[in-house]
């Protein structure tokens, strides 16, 4: 039996998931915080963030908080805590945002505690999901019954879901990959070559795995869709906001100039210093994350940042 689903957040990712699930025959409501935006989407049956893709007739768009059995939270990470008091009680919560909260350094499931929840994460671009192209993702929660119920409710013929009990590792992979993607973009924008990008992705994966284990997750989780899969997609495509920001920096652009030209949030900019601070509390080294943080703050430029990474002490892999 289909469960009612509400998508909380009408950005590109939330709208894409709403389109995917509505087309698969689910009962779906898409919530937009802004009433004017909700009305415009109702009238045009489009979201300007996904040009050329029509909303299915069955998809309901509203600015009033809906009641549903499953709530998918797709707002930017820094807005997650402010949304929680508005949510109806008793629904299954699925966190689709990625990053760490400023100040608390909390991952998404830590912000939601003690309320039970799951993470939906993986290598997914919104425009491809909305277009119905094949993709896979992970539903992570230690609650096996909740995990099974969500996979049954959210999978579609074009959207294959895998389960994981490691919600910490899955959440960390989704957050940290944005930081590594900025570094990968810098490498390519500066013309440093494919060899350098491949090395950076591999070593980035290693530092994410170390921190995952230190935080109580599993290092092997980072080798799956929520880590390696997401990392490969985000570090190799110009469609990635984080990669394209790094590419601009690598070409000599200024951070503020690049951000001012965007309407969408580039999560890695806020995640980098928070991730570095969280790693410091866990006494784990994250040299690539540290380099990105210094580059974003203006403490180092691109040539000095890359030179610092190459000068690190030699050791076994």
Question: Catalytic residues, which ones?
Answer: 177
Element holding 289 (H helix, E strand): helix 287-297
Cα distance between residue 40 and residue 58, in whole Å: 16
**29: helix, strand or coil:** strand
Confirm if 124 and 174 have CB atoms less than 8 A apart: no
Confirm if 204 and 317 have CB atoms less than 8 A apart: no
Identify which of 228, 49, 227 has the alpha carbon closest to the alpha carbon of residue 129: 49
- Half-sphere exposure of residue 248, counting CA atoms within 13 Å on the CB side? 19
**34: helix, strand or coil:** coil
Confirm if 199 and 188 have CB atoms less than 8 A apart: no
Cα distance between residue 193 and residue 213, in whole Å: 31
| C-alpha dist (Å) from residue 128 to 19, 61, 65 | 11, 21, 27
- In terms of residues, how long is the chain? 317
Q: Are strands 117-121 and 135-140 parallel, antiparallel or unpaired?
A: antiparallel
Identify which of 121, 215, 123 has the alpha carbon closest to the alpha carbon of residue 168: 215
Crossing angle of the two packed helices 287-297 and 267-281, in degrees rounded to 10: 130
Cis amide bond preceding 241, omega within 30: no
């Amino acid at each position: 039996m289909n469960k009612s689903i509400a998508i909380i957040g009408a950005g590109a990712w939330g709208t894409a998931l709403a389109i995917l699930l509505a087309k698969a025959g689910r009962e779906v409501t898409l919530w937009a915080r802004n009433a004017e935006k909700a009305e415009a989407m109702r009238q045009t049956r489009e979201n300007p963030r996904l040009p050329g893709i029509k909303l299915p007739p069955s998809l309901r768009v509203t600015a009033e908080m809906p009641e549903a059995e499953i709530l998918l939270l797709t707002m930017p990470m820094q807005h997650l805590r402010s949304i929680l008091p508005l949510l109806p009680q008793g629904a299954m919560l699925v966190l689709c945002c990625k990053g760490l909260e400023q100040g608390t350094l909390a991952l998404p499931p830590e912000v939601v505690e003690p309320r039970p929840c799951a993470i939906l994460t993986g290598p997914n671009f919104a425009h491809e999901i909305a277009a119905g192209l094949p993709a896979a993702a992970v539903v992570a929660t230690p609650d096996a019954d909740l995990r099974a119920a969500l996979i049954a409710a959210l999978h579609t013929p074009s959207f294959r879901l895998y389960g994981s009990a490691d919600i910490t590792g899955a959440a960390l992979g989704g957050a940290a990959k944005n930081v590594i993607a900025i570094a990968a973009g810098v490498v390519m924008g500066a013309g440093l070559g494919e060899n350098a990008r491949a090395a950076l992705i591999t070593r980035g994966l290693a530092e994410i795995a170390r921190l995952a284990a230190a935080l109580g997750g599993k290092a092997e989780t980072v080798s799956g869709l929520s880590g390696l899969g997401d990392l490969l997609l985000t570090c190799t495509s110009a469609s990635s906001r984080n990669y394209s920001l790094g590419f601009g920096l690598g070409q000599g652009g200024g951070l503020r100039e690049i951000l001012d030209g965007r309407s969408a949030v580039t999560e890695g900019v806020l995640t980098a210093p928070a991730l570095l601070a969280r790693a410091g509390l866990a006494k784990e080294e994250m040299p690539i994350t540290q380099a990105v943080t210094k580059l974003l703050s203006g403490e180092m430029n691109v040539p000095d940042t890359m030179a610092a990474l190459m000068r690190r002490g030699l050791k076994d892999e």
